Amino acid sequence: MADPLVELREVRKSYNIGAPNEAEVLHGIDLRVDPGEFIALVGPSGSGKSTLLNIVGLLEPVTSGSYRLQGEPVGALSDQALTLRRRATLGFVFQFHHLLPAFSALENVTLPALMAEGRVSAARREQARDLLAAVGLAAALDKRPSQLSGGMQQRVAIARALVMQPALVLADEPTGNLDTGSSDEVFRQLRRIHAERGTAFVVVTHDQRLAARCDRLVELVDGRIARDERVGASGGEA
């Protein structure tokens, strides 16, 4: 078995520590994500899904417990080291695409390379073109977000998340702001990228139709993992 990308052990997360309103929102989470997995993270509002995703994404520290990313303990890393690990290993897709309105689709996709490397090389630009083609937007390279539909904008965001070739993409309600048809198309593109590139995905979703088309389902209830099982979709193109 391959070494895990992500390994959480007995992870707890509290807010307002030491204050009268201190609250623990994650209660001893054990979670392993292997290379190439496609996981749905589900659960009711307030169950801790976004907090867990933020921890995996190195955006929030754990209160207690351990987190290893590609075998490396991350708890003692400096802010700068965490930023470098995040850029090297992780991609992010959110419910709202957060595209820069003055930038073209191609420029939005190359933005992570510009931030990480200080410039956009010809190779990165070509990779961005390839990614936009992979999500069905080869003809939209020069279009600005205002010229694209909501579903197309989210596909630009998917390409942007992949331009640095992350091992793992974290997607927080990536179809939550879209109609059913656009949701299906965006999800189809996620599955296609997964199949073609072997990128691992953890997708937070309230859409049970989409969750059923993932390969593994992890359900959080009240800050604890209530269910972790294979769902056998393996392809998700339906």
201 is a domain residue = yes
Give the model's pLDDT for residue 197.
84
26 is a domain residue = no
Helices 105-117 and 122-134, axial angle in degrees (round to 10): 140
Give the model's pLDDT for residue 102.
94
Q: Indicate whether this model's pTM tops 0.95.
A: no
Calculate the average pLDDT of the chain: 88
Residue 96 has pLDDT above 90, yes or no: no
Question: Which range has the worst mean pLDDT, 16-20, 94-98, 136-140?
Answer: 94-98
Q: Are 136 and 189 in contact (CB under 8 A)?
A: yes
Give the model's pLDDT for residue 232.
62
Give the model's pLDDT for residue 1.
59
Give the model's pLDDT for residue 120.
82
Give the model's pLDDT for residue 178.
73
CA distance 105 to 134: 13
47 is a domain residue = yes
Give the model's pLDDT for residue 150.
84
CATH number assigned to the domain comprising residue 181? 3.40.50.300
pLDDT tens column, 112-132: 888 877 888 888 899 899 888
What are the backbone dihedrals phi and psi of residue 212, each rounded to the nearest 5 degrees, phi first? -70, -15
Average pLDDT over residues 158-179: 85
73 is a domain residue = no
Give the model's pLDDT for residue 235.
46
pLDDT tens column, 1-57: 578 999 999 999 999 888 888 899 999 999 999 999 999 999 998 899 989 999 999
Please report which confidence band the pLDDT of residue 60 belongs to, taking 50, 70 and 90 as the band edges. very high
pLDDT tens column, 186-230: 788 788 888 888 899 999 988 888 888 899 999 999 999 999 999
3-state SS, one letter per residue, for the chain: CCCCCEEEEEEEEEECCCCCCCEEEEEEEEEEECCCCEEEEECCCCCCHHHHHHHHCCCCCCCEEEEEECCEECCCCCHHHHHHHHHHHEEEEECCCCCCCCCCHHHHHHHHHHHHHCCCCHHHHHHHHHHHHHCCCHHHCCCCHHHCCHHHHHHHHHHHHHCCCCCEEEEECCCCCCCHHHHHHHHHHHHHHHHHHCCEEEEECCCHHHHCCCCEEEEEECCEEEEEEECCCCCCCC
Q: Are 68 and 89 in contact (CB under 8 A)?
A: no
In sequence order, which residues have a C-beta less than 8 Å from that of residue 178 and are 6 or more positions away?
150, 151, 154, 186
200 is a domain residue = yes
223 is a domain residue = yes
Containing domain of residue 88, as a range?
35-61+78-230
Domains identified in the chain, total number: 1
